[in-house]
Amino acid sequence: MKAYLPFQDVLLTMPRVELAALVNNWLWEIPLEQTPTDEQALKMIELIKARPDAAECGAIIDSCDEYLNGK
């Protein structure tokens, strides 16, 4: 089963604390067969960097980078 990328509007508008929990769960807590592809993780980073509060989302982006580098 392929993982789905959370809706773009969710990634762009969800409060940062909730977004951090969502990303953490999606990258690290779900079953292996549902984890995101590298392409999906890169798209998620791109969308988070487009948020108005992107400068404050560094820890979330770092988590995505760790996921990509740890595969």
pLDDT at 65 over 90: yes
Q: Please tell me what DSSP assigns to residue 47.
A: H
Going from N- to C-terminal start, the domains of the chain cover: 8-70
Q: What is the pTM of this model?
A: 0.83
> Dihedral, CA atoms, 30, 22, 48, 41, nearest 10 degrees?
0
- Give the model confidence (pLDDT) of 4-61 as tens digits: 566 788 899 999 999 999 999 988 888 888 888 899 899 999 999 999 999 999 999 9
How far apart (Å, rounded) are the C-alpha atoms in residues 17 and 31?
23
> Dihedral, CA atoms, 53, 54, 55, 59, nearest 10 degrees?
110
Average pLDDT over residues 59-65: 96
